[in-house]
Amino acid sequence: MSTSTAAPESIHDPQPDPYVALVQTYDAETGDMRDDLAAFHTLARRFGGPVLDVGCGTGRVAFDLAEQGYAVVGVDVSAPMLERARQRAASENVGEDRIRWLEADITALALDDRFGLAVFAYNGFMHLLEQSAQQAALAHIAGHLRPGGGLALDLPNPVEMFRAEDTPGLVLERIFDDPQTGEQVMQQSLASVDRAEQILSVTWIYDRIGADGVVRRHIAPVRLRYTMAAELRLLLAGAGFERVALYGDYDFAEYTEDSPRLLAVAETRKAAS
């Protein structure tokens, strides 16, 4: 069964952090991912800053929004991913007045800051395997938004789990060069879907071919949860969000069963006038 070509951005996983292994290749895999950024620009102009980047990973979205002039707080539970983000910030002289990095669990986040927009980018919500964790995360995000603030939550179209063919063997996802080491990396996956529980289990396998010709392998198993569109509406409403809109791509086209993505944009209640 073919899966997406890059692992999603981390936020919460009760199992050992898969990004201890995935951080080694994460930036090389996601460096050319820019399709979603224009949509976040549009929403940042609509809701204003500052921006809370939930599951920020190594900062792909955070750095882009900072370049657009927004103050950003990047939150993630993965220490290795945040360390990579801080290293990039230091090398590019991006200070904490532009991006502040915070190692924290979104299901228990408690900041004094209030944000105009929260972004939960590229599949990060899938790391929340239980509805109780999803509910807690959304409630804490809502609590950190200003009245009338917005949330952008980006997921794969969950219908794909019913269309995917289960295959017992490895699937070659991609071959790419790691710009940091110059090594060629072959990425493979072994995946299965429990459709009753809406759980995707993936083992990511990375083979690095060194200059000496030796192949070095690292393995990262991860479990992810699909969320259906109607279920997502209920979760957002239960967390206090209003005016929930579901889109099927980053151009804000209407969501359908054939859409490539499930992009939710939700607002908190505006202050009484």
3-state DSSP call for residue 209? strand
210, 183 Cβ separation under 8 angstroms: yes
The predicted model scores a pTM of: 0.89
Record: fold of 19-158+227-268: Rossmann fold (3.40.50)
d(CA 134, CA 124): 11
**Confidence bin at 8 (pLDDT 50/70/90):** low
**Confidence bin at 15 (pLDDT 50/70/90):** low
Record: fold of 161-225: N-terminal domain of TfIIb (2.20.25)
Rg (CA), the chain: 18
Q: Which residues face 221 on adjacent strands?
A: 203
Residue 4: predicted pLDDT = 44
**Tens-digit pLDDT profile for residues 133-167:** 999 999 999 999 999 999 999 999 999 888 877 77
Domain ranges of the chain: 19-158+227-268, 161-225
Residue 144: predicted pLDDT = 98
Element (DSSP H or E) covering residue 140: helix 131-143
d(CA 186, CA 176): 7
Q: Which residues face 219 on adjacent strands?
A: 205
**Tens-digit pLDDT profile for residues 72-129:** 999 999 999 999 999 999 999 999 999 999 999 999 999 999 999 999 999 999 999 9
Residue 174: predicted pLDDT = 87
Please determine, for residue 55, whether its predicted confidence score (pLDDT) is greater than 90.
yes
**Tens-digit pLDDT profile for residues 202-235:** 999 989 888 788 888 888 899 999 999 999 999 9
Strand segments (E) across 8-144: 51-54, 72-76, 99-103, 115-120
